[in-house]
Structure 1
Amino acid sequence: MKPLVIAIISILFIQCGKSKFDVAKGKVGSLTTKTTMQEIDGIFKNDSVVKILSEGIKGDNLFQEDDKYKIYEKGGKHLLTIIPQEQLDSVSTIKSVEIFDDRYKTKSGLNINSTFQEINANNTINKVESTLSSATLFIDDLNATIAIDKEDLGLKAFSTQKVTKEQIPDLAKIKSLTIWFN
């Protein structure tokens, strides 16, 4: 009987430890497509949640930014930034999660410190789009976008030059990693 109990407890600990930093389509750690904004404080009860709320439609700012929920470890390390689907709505689900901590990773090992070579070898890059300062990679099987700074590509920032997958150097680093929940 004891070996069975120990085995079950071990499996539970392994599953709990694993899921805290797992990233997959529609999942970042304990966050899923069904998670509401009112659950954020409970999920991150051992961390600090900084809420930067917009003024919504009643505000004076026509170019209003989204609400942001920034998650920090107790030591001050920035883990995640969560954007809700609907602003100023506690029952809204999550629109996107930007990852800042390298412990959050996919089964293939993709994390914020991955190089382009690692991204390209383990994921299907469906599209590359240029912005003024970065190249954005679209990974549909994760519903993720990865931004790579144009300076890492040998291009001038604020240029409108189109970027192809073949132009990206293997050692180019990730500027940002966002998982979309829509």
Structure 2
Amino acid sequence: MKKNVLLVFAISLSLFMSCNGSEKFEIKKGKVGHLTPKTSIKDLKQIFKNDSIVPNLSEGALGDNYFQDDDEYLIYEKGGKHLLTVVPKEQLDSTSTIKSVQIFDDRYKTESGLNLTSTFAEINLHNNINKIESTFSSATLFIDDLNATISIDKEELGLKAFSNQKVTKDQIPDLAKMKSFTIWFN
């Protein structure tokens, strides 16, 4: 009887730990790992206590870096791997909540398996692409069910960079890879 209780406890504990570990890399609408729209910048120290946080501050209206609009908090694993870049809604304010999170580690993924290494075919199969906008160097896919944007380099599309040509879903090859993956918390 005592062995059975210990066995059930051990199984329950391992399930809890594995679920908790997978939650660290889970992406949902309004959630990236343990980050949510209610997370403040000062909470990052506790959430990523075993990782490194590198602040890249814009200096706001007081600074002379006119090309950097937003503060950024780059999150690195202890081994040096770039995990995320977090941008706050308000600059130079540790109590600010999060505006966006850019994903840099392919362990972060959605329930359907969408991650940084996903191809356009995988993106299109499991997500509703609501809009596509062209920039000079990439096509940006808007996915409302995740409140996410995914950029694909125009070279992946067979188009010349620095062209302003409109891009449609039909023009994007199935094997095109994403250039960036950002979740928005607004």
Which TM-score bucket, shorter chain as reference?
over 0.9
> Residue in 2 aligned with 1:126?
130
In the alignment, which of 143, 148, 170 is matched to residue 147 of structure 2?
Answer: 143
> Residue in 2 aligned with 1:91?
95
> CA offsets, 1:110-156, max 9 Å, x none?
00000000000111101111011000000000000000000110111
Task: Write the mapping of 1:93-108 to structure 2, written as runs, cut at 5 A.
Answer: 93-108=97-112
Structure 1 residue 54: deviation in Å?
A: 1.4
TM-score, with structure 1 as normaliser:
0.96
SS in 1 for 2:101: strand
> Residue in 1 aligned with 2:41?
37
- The alignment status of 1:70 with 2:70, answered yes or no, reads no
Structure 1 CA distance for aligned equivalents of residues 27 and 84 of structure 2: 12
Structure 2 CA distance for aligned equivalents of residues 27 and 71 of structure 1: 16
- The alignment status of 1:165 with 2:169, answered yes or no, reads yes
TM-score, with structure 2 as normaliser:
0.94
> Residue in 1 aligned with 2:53?
49
- For 1:25, the aligned partner's letter is K
What is the number of equivalent residue pairs in this alignment? 182
> Residue in 2 aligned with 1:27?
31
Runs of 4+ aligned residues of structure 1 deviating over 6 Å after TM superposition are none
SS in 2 for 1:6: helix
> Residue in 1 aligned with 2:20?
16
Structure 1 residue 3: deviation in Å?
A: 3.8
Structure 2 CA distance for aligned equivalents of residues 51 and 62 of structure 1: 17
Structure 1 residue 15: deviation in Å?
A: 1.9
SS in 2 for 1:31: coil
- The alignment status of 1:154 with 2:158, answered yes or no, reads yes
Structure 1 CA distance for aligned equivalents of residues 36 and 153 of structure 2: 28
- What is the RMSD computed on CA atoms of the aligned residues? 1.2
In the alignment, which of 171, 178, 181 is matched to residue 182 of structure 2?
Answer: 178
In the alignment, which of 90, 114, 119 is matched to residue 118 of structure 2?
Answer: 114
Structure 1 CA distance for aligned equivalents of residues 6 and 64 of structure 2: 64
Identity of aligned residues (%): 68
Structure 2 CA distance for aligned equivalents of residues 72 and 37 of structure 1: 16
Structure 2 CA distance for aligned equivalents of residues 8 and 92 of structure 1: 37
Structure 1 residue 59: deviation in Å?
A: 2.4
